[in-house]
A and B are shown apart, each in its own frame.
Chain A
């Protein structure tokens, strides 16, 4: 079981969709939101995904396919 933390951003047209709920249903992972900011035109959540690493990877692909941008919790670390 791994626990990985991500910063997930939603495009404007997806702000109203329950995306975090959906990936929790579609993949065998546990989602744990710790901080979020959702506004009319933009939104992000800081979330921990727990599960087998391969399943987390699949869930990340799933998030990307829904139009989300997924970064590590640290954002950009390449300086």
Chain B
């Protein structure tokens, strides 16, 4: 069975072979993978998926790779946590957290997309892979490339924080610190991708890379007992994650795994970088690029490649978009940690902040099955909350001091 039919232009529908190309030669529109759903339908079943590997590769029939020699064999299948405490706080009866803070191996949802990208890159014969990144993507590409014995180049802006650079260096890729700002790195990488025969995961491998995000939709539906949620809240950077969750939900219907999709998509951004949410709220079908200024660095894409498609998908689903301040981002991180024991990075704070806002606005209702996507681990962005979590209580090393401080036992006047 050939499950991949072609790469197809999202604008003019011109088709191309499934190689390492990403832009339509005719209209310069972006390419994406087109599947042979009739054939996939014959091969796939709920039983086959459930008997498959304990990873996102159980959905292999719907992923754009040809073989089973996976890079990142353990990515995905992260917990869908029934968030009773947070639900009670917000006034939701059935709230779930899709917890990609524990994704393998680098604790963010990027492990899904990179696993697909590098598996496909290796199938296409690449021995060198690369990416342009300021954080999670670089970590994931570096780690996966190390495990797969692939040469790896990671391009970062010259002013990136030391902790983030270290997170890449440990895997020993070629970390290229480009003198200049974000835009300079951006342009250089586009040119390098055009000149060198490398698998640049978010450039010429992007049509395959982006498909990895669909597994978040598949897993959510399976973990809900083969039902689609009523509402989902998704953080937006390039907008790709939101569009691919939408695609994934519909694919499950095309291949007969579910009967209907009634899910409403809700996109979340930080106010300091909210080109997509701002456009949606203004009723526009186009966005105005911005210069990002937010603590939610992993969502700080001012000119998002999939912004237009995210607007379209959200409108189709009759969903909504919102944005939150940096203060609300920190509050969101703390709220999730203190109610559900999940420490999310700043993108998670954006998601929880927007979830809270949408519930308050009545957009998300009490009895709707709601899933919030938490895409990265809080240990990666500790600087965002360092001044907002207080200090330890310091005592002398004696039982008396302890009991007095905490008003416990006979020295504290308590019962215990």
Contacts and interface: CB of A to CB of B under 8 A. Distances in A.
Contacts, number: 78
A72 B27 contact: no
A23 B23 CA distance: 24
Nearest to B23: A73
B190 A74 contact: yes
Given A75-B304, A76-B302, A79-B202, A46 B28 contact: yes
A71 interface: yes
- Interface size bracket, B side: 35 or more
Interface string A47-79: 010000000000000000000010111111111
For A5, A42, A79, the residue with the greatest tally of chain B CB atoms inside 10 Å of its CB is A79
A37 B22 CA distance: 21
A68 B318 CA distance: 34
A74 B27 contact: no
A79 B29 CA distance: 20
Contact of A74 (B136, B137, B185, B203): B203
A56 B65 CA distance: 37
Interface string B9-38: 001000000000011001111100000000
Interface of B: 11, 22-23, 26-30, 110, 131-137, 155, 157, 182-183, 185-187, 189-191, 193-194, 202-203, 206, 237-238, 286, 288-289, 301-305
Given A73-B190, A74-B206, 5 more contacts: A34-B27, A78-B155, A79-B131, A79-B136, A79-B301
Ranked nearest first, the 8 interchain pairs of A and B with the lowest CB-CB distance are A72-B190, A46-B28, A75-B305, A78-B132, A79-B137, A34-B28, A76-B301, A75-B303
Interface of A: 4-5, 9, 34-35, 37, 42, 46, 48, 69, 71-79
